[in-house]
Amino acid sequence: MRTEIASLGKFGLISRLTDHLRTNNSSTIKGMGDDAAVLEYSKKDVLITTDLLLEGIHFDLTYVALKLLGYKAAVSGFSDIYAMNGHPKQLTVSVGLSKRFSVEDLEEFYSGIEYACERYGVDIIGGDISSSLTGLTIGITCVGEADKDKIVYRDRAKNTDLICVSGDLGSAYMGLQLLEREKAVHTGEKDFSPDFAGKEYLLERQLRPEARKNIIEMLTETHIVPTSMIDISDGLASELLHICKQSKVGCVIYEERIPIDYQTAMMAEQFNLNLTTVALNGGDDYELLFTVPLTLHDKIQTLEGIHLIGHIVNEEEGANLVTRDKTQIPLTAQGWTKTEE
């Protein structure tokens, strides 16, 4: 069954998508249903982040299900809040869509957002819907909170700080390459079912990533407040260079210490891609990159899922990568298009 959006109208559609929503956070005084949401934050600082996602640029509906797209869109906002050592609490969702989308399509998209919000304890408090002449456009604004003395910025890294990263890197990018390859192979086929057996982890990292709430909770439990932090959405090299530039420092990271999953390594070999380049420049990992004082060396080594990959140096020394053969080379952010030759 397909219900045309025009049959409901803008406000009828919004009601259908949101009337069942309930709020759970005490900071949400008023969510949906008025000209603006009402929030109350008295003892903590408010964190706000916005993401804009465009069809054909940030996602491809050939292989991305709308429910997964909704989930990933929400998680990308949550990740930005966690990168400030905060906790996401509210979310607004704005959508521009063309006539090719039905009411059921939009319900599928919103179901992914709702599921993400349920898992992370976030309230959906507003948004907007508009017609569009070109595809699907998504605007996400996430509001979070943090203790005033616990917020972590990008510009506070200091000389001798340790550089740490959570999880593993490059897997989401290799998942994207796998999807793009199958799309190219099956171009023109209406219904195709590629065999992704044994590659599920890579696809999950690309299609349904998770924000690292557990890492923030672990740092809180161990009384560790990073000196700087950023989430890895555009690649390790790019994000580390952001920290270095804003903190006015340099860095040294070690190729052999960059965490890489086995499936990522196998797929990089199949695609004839340099594994370190993939790990340094692959986006959408949503891991946390952070620095801590040198005095926490022994403590940070005991934390599960945290990898020590280098250290901060004086700005004059620049940003460098030490290769496996002990050669030091400048660290650069390569950037990617969807597929590489």
Confidence check: pLDDT of 338 > 50: no
CATH code of the domain made up of 7-146:
3.30.1330.10
In the prediction, which pLDDT does 14 show? 64
Tell me the per-residue pLDDT of 187-245, one tens digit each, with 9 for 90 and over.
Answer: 656 565 666 778 999 999 999 999 999 999 999 999 999 999 999 999 999 999 999 99
CATH code of the domain made up of 162-330:
3.90.650.10
Which of 12-21, 77-86, 99-108 shows the lowest mean pLDDT across its residues? 12-21
Rounded CA separation 88/82 (Å)? 7
* Residue of 230, 253, 252 lying closest to 242 (CA atoms): 230
In the prediction, which pLDDT does 340 show? 37
Which helix (H) or strand (E) segment is 277 a member of? helix 275-281
**Residue 52's CB: how many other CB atoms inside 10 A?**
12
Rounded CA separation 270/193 (Å)? 20
In the prediction, which pLDDT does 337 show? 43
Compute the C-alpha angle 37/40/41, nearest 5°: 135
Rounded CA separation 103/137 (Å)? 16
Range list for CATH 3.30.1330.10 in the chain? 7-146
Which of 11-15, 46-50, 154-158, 188-192 shows the lowest mean pLDDT across its residues? 188-192
Dihedral of CA atoms 49, 50, 55, 61 in degrees, nearest 10, equals 40
Rounded CA separation 166/117 (Å)? 22
In the prediction, which pLDDT does 18 show? 66
Band of residue 341 on the pLDDT scale cut at 50, 70, 90: very low
In the prediction, which pLDDT does 32 show? 74
In the prediction, which pLDDT does 317 show? 98
Confidence check: pLDDT of 105 > 50: yes
- Which whole number is the average pLDDT over 262-266? 96
* Of 334 and 105, the one with more pLDDT: 105
In whole numbers, what is the pLDDT of the chain averaged over residues?
Answer: 91
* Of 18 and 263, the one with more pLDDT: 263
In the prediction, which pLDDT does 184 show? 82
In the prediction, which pLDDT does 1 show? 76
Residue 298 Ramachandran class (φ > 0 left, ψ -120 to 50 alpha, else beta): alpha
pTM attached to this predicted model = 0.91
* Of 278 and 6, the one with more pLDDT: 278
Range list for CATH 3.90.650.10 in the chain? 162-330
